[in-house]
Structure 1
Amino acid sequence: MESSEFLGFLKSRSSIRSYTGKKISREEIGYLLEAATTCPTAGNREAWDLIVCQQEDLLEALADAAFDQQFIREAGTVIVICANYVRSMSRYGERGILYAVQDATIAGTYMMLAAHALRYATCWIGAFDEDEVRELLGIPQHARPIGLLLIGEAREQAGSPERMPPHEHLHEDFW
């Protein structure tokens, strides 16, 4: 793939909040997991875990836990991305908490792009009641849910939002 094609691929992805309810297949979930396992990770600790949710009652409960974001119910598939502190802290101590969150976030990003390559719509949800999600899914204390990744067939396409010009993010040598 040429660099311009890659940039076009990235620019063509946007967060979708309207889904048909179609679930992704086991094979497609396997593809996303395989993509996630290729991501960079602090000390190769792979300090992340995933919970794939496709049951309607779970999607409803996740929508409620995400401050009533009802479109979550329509996604068909929600992958709850968790930072696994134990894997990272066993090597890095307290700093491992940050590394686990970074590892999980990068894994989620890789899965989001892999889903886009499969022509599925995605949306990263960070606004949710962490304790409610933890209890609902039986997430142990050494892991933290950091994101809900919605994956499904888009009901309608969204345009790309306005973005800051790249140079506004850049500082050279010093802030």
Structure 2
Amino acid sequence: MVILNIIKGRRSIRRYKIQDIPYEKILEILEAGIWAPSSGNLQNWYFIVVKDPKKRKQLAEASMGQGFVYEAPVVIVVCSDTKKVEYFYGSRGKFYAIQNVAAAIQNILLEAWSEGIGTCWIGAFDEKRVKEILEIPKDIEVHALVTLGYPDESPSSDRQPLREKVFFERWGNRVYIPKLYPLLEKLEDLNWKFKDLRNRLKKQ
């Protein structure tokens, strides 16, 4: 599958089929995670694979009561040795550590989706409680929880037009091909109107 198709097709999944994911498949997905770029190649990430129903329930409670965390057959708890990065980069180290882990998580989401497995990246949780549940050392941070499971829903999604998010050479400069830009703008407007009409028809 072309990488852009995987990126555009990926969705945050919160409803899962009652179907186990073999450890071999989970490790393949995590393999993609460890090949993410990291500052100074420090690779400050760690992953805890949680399948145990009791622990998944505890993690769901620690995640502001988000029930789908328990319902997902697998939860990946993503951790960071942030002090390792701070040792090399000082006050910027914490910022770099977050970026490194985020890159690894995105790789995980995309690899999972390419294998037909849905995910949801969760940032709302009680870190102290998660660390207690999984016996995580004090000097290790928990950056995210990622649920994994075979999707039992097909949510739709959309994005704001690229032209609203990209500038050239300076902030606010959106013109990159003066003669073609008005035409591209009209085509993009028509595309959004078509998508809006399609979504409204689906709801009827």
Q: What's the TM-score once normalised by structure 2's chain length?
A: 0.79
Larger Rg: 2
- 139-148 vs 75-84, which moves further: 139-148
SS at match of 2:155: coil
Residue pair 1:16, 1:154 contacting (<8 A) in 2 also: yes
**Structure 1 equivalent of residue 13 of structure 2:** 16
Q: Which amino acid aligns with 1:124?
A: W
Structure of higher RCO (CA pairs closer than 8 Å, 6+ residues apart): 1
Choose from 38, 41, 64 the match for 2:38: 41
Q: Which amino acid aligns with 2:53?
A: E
Q: Shift of the alpha carbon at 1:6?
A: 2.5
Q: Which amino acid aligns with 2:44?
A: A
Q: Does 1:174 align with 2:170?
A: yes
> Gapped runs of 5+ residues in structure 2?
172-204
Residue pair 1:16, 1:158 contacting (<8 A) in 2 also: yes
Residue pair 1:46, 1:87 contacting (<8 A) in 2 also: no
C-alpha separation between the residues in 2 aligned to 1:90 and 1:24?
Answer: 37
User: CA offsets, 1:4-51, max 9 Å, x none?
Assistant: x33222111101110124332111122122111211110000011111
SS at match of 1:73: helix
**Structure 1 equivalent of residue 139 of structure 2:** 142
**Structure 2 equivalent of residue 165 of structure 1:** 161
C-alpha separation between the residues in 2 aligned to 1:59 and 1:29?
Answer: 16
Q: Shift of the alpha carbon at 1:115?
A: 0.6
* Structure 1: 4+ residue segments shifted above 2 A: 171-175
Q: What's the TM-score once normalised by structure 1's chain length?
A: 0.91
Equivalent residues, number: 171
Q: CA RMSD in A?
A: 1.5
Matched-pair identity in % = 36
User: CA offsets, 1:57-85, max 9 Å, x none?
Assistant: 11101111111111111110010111211
> Gapped runs of 5+ residues in structure 1?
none
